[in-house]
Amino acid sequence: MSHGPRTVIFDLDGTLADTSGDLLAAANGCFRELGLGDLLDAKDAGVALRGGKAMLSLGFQRSGTHGAEEVERQYPLLLKRYEEAICERTVLYPGAVEALERLRAEGYRTGICTNKPEGLSEILLEKLGVRGLFDSLVGADTLAVRKPDPLAFTTAVERAGGAAGRACLVGDSDTDHRTARAAGVPSILVAFGPSGEDMAVLGPEVLLDSFEELPGVVERLGL
Average pLDDT value for residue range 4-32: 97
pLDDT of residue 193: 84
In angstroms, the CA 29 to CA 59 distance is 12
Whole-model pTM: value is 0.95
Whether the link from the prior residue into 148 is cis, omega within 30° of 0, is yes
pLDDT of residue 149: 98
Cα–Cα nearest to 183, from 102, 113, 121, 98:
113
| Amino acid letter for position 51 | G
In angstroms, the CA 65 to CA 102 distance is 49
164-181 pLDDT tens trace: 899 999 999 999 999 999
pLDDT of residue 197: 79
The catalytic residue positions are 11
Q: Quote the mean pLDDT of the chain.
A: 96
pLDDT of residue 198: 86
Is 216 a residue whose pLDDT tops 70?
Answer: yes
Q: Which residues contact 106 (CB under 8 A, 6 or more apart)?
A: 215, 219
Average pLDDT value for residue range 34-45: 97
Average pLDDT value for residue range 189-196: 88
Cα–Cα nearest to 48, from 10, 20, 67, 11:
20
pLDDT of residue 2: 56
Q: Read off the pLDDT band of 23 (50, 70, 90).
A: very high
Ordered DSSP codes for 171-188: ESSHHHHHHHHHHT--EE
Where are the strands (E) in 60-144, listed by range?
91-92, 109-113, 136-138
Is 1 a residue whose pLDDT tops 60?
Answer: no
Average pLDDT value for residue range 22-51: 96
